[in-house]
């Protein structure tokens, strides 16, 4: 069983569209994250949720809206997609917000055309 | 502001060689440090987690050290194999569970 799973793996869409990426973890963790990996392969945190509560919002445009229906799921909805949103988006989870190990999903490669 | 730097950016070695990847960070107020491996087009695989109170962790042929006071960590890979070829990422854990990543070291191990 995959510990942290994201869908879809690939997403190609036109500018201006709205799209969602889903993430689920079966590790029983309390904390989930979204990270963005840009074209230079640099990874940066976007959001984190702990027990369905937003903990970190790293000055991401408000076109990006995370939603956590329960502890095991953290979805990312993106409105009015722009060319610059093209990147690989990674979901991750950890036991809590303390000193625990983070586990990452396989990533969603978003291409905006 | 915490910044994480990895040197070298790329490394090519012959199979069997022992090697060291370096990671430095500017602020010693970290919770932990985690080393990951990323294969092309794939996700991140956690290799080792070192808590801020620890000096090193070992897993198989991998050994990671942490010197918090000097802001440095190293990942030592013994007897490298072609299957070790990947990008290795260092990340420091800070408040809120946030990870701050370095740019990675792209390793190529030649048969």
Q: How confident is the model at residue A99 (pLDDT cuts 50, 70, 90)?
A: confident
Shortest CA gap A94–chain B (Å): 8
* Cβ–Cβ below 8 Å for B101 and A102: no
Both tokens assigned to A35:
């990270």
Please answer whether residues B4 and B102 qualify as being in contact, where contact means their C-beta atoms are separated by less than 8 angstroms.
yes
Q: What percent of chain A has pLDDT over 70?
A: 99
Average pLDDT, integer, range B7-31: 96
Q: Is A96 on the interface with B (CB under 8 A)?
A: yes
Per CB-CB distance under 8 Å, the chain B contacts of A41 are 87, 103-104
Average pLDDT of chain A is: 94
CA–CA dist A57, B95 (Å, integer): 13
Angle at A11 between CA A109 and CA A7, to 5 degrees: 80
Please answer whether residues B24 and B71 qualify as being in contact, where contact means their C-beta atoms are separated by less than 8 angstroms.
yes
CA–CA dist A25, A23 (Å, integer): 7
Q: Which residue's structure tokens are 């090519």? A: B12
Please answer whether residues B16 and B83 qualify as being in contact, where contact means their C-beta atoms are separated by less than 8 angstroms.
no
CB-closest option in A50, A97, A101 to B46 = A101
Q: Minimal Cα distance from A34: which residue of B?
A: B98
Average pLDDT, integer, range A76-101: 93
Burial A76-104 (b: 16+ CB within 10 A, else e): bebeebeeebbbbbbbbbbbebebbebbb
Shortest CA gap B111–chain A (Å): 26
Please answer whether residues A51 and A70 qualify as being in contact, where contact means their C-beta atoms are separated by less than 8 angstroms.
no
Shortest CA gap B79–chain A (Å): 26
CA–CA dist A92, A106 (Å, integer): 9
Q: Minimal Cα distance from A38: which residue of B?
A: B103
The pLDDT of residue A100:
84
In the 8-state DSSP scheme, what is residue A100? P
Average pLDDT, integer, range B62-88: 97
Both tokens assigned to A37:
């990996």
User: Does position A48 have pLDDT exceeding 80, yes or no?
Assistant: yes
Q: Is B43 on the interface with A (CB under 8 A)?
A: yes
Q: How confident is the model at residue A1 (pLDDT cuts 50, 70, 90)?
A: low
List residues bridging with B69 in a β-sheet.
none
């Amino acid at each position: 069983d995959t510990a942290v799973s994201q869908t879809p793996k690939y997403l190609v869409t036109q500018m201006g569209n709205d799209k969602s990426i889903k993430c689920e973890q079966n590790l029983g963790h309390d904390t989930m994250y979204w990270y963005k990996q840009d074209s230079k392969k640099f990874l940066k945190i976007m959001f984190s949720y702990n027990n369905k509560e937003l903990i970190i919002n790293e000055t991401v445009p408000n076109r990006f809206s995370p939603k956590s229906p329960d502890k095991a799921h953290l979805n990312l909805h993106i409105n009015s997609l722009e060319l610059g949103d093209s990147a690989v988006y990674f979901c991750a989870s950890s036991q809590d917000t303390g000193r625990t190990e983070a586990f990452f999903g396989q990533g969603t490669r978003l291409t905006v055309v | 502001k915490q910044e994480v730097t990895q040197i070298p950016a790329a490394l090519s070695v012959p199979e069997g060689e022992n090697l060291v990847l370096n990671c430095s960070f500017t602020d010693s107020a970290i919770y932990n440090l985690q080393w990951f491996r990323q294969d092309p087009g794939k996700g991140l695989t956690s290799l080792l987690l070192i808590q801020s109170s620890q000096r090193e962790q070992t897993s198989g042929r991998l050994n990671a050290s942490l010197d918090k006071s000097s802001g440095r960590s190293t990942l030592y890979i013994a007897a490298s194999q072609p299957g070790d070829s990947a990008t290795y990422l260092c990340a420091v854990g800070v408040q809120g569970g946030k990870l701050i990543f370095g740019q990675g070291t792209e390793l190529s191990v030649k048969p």
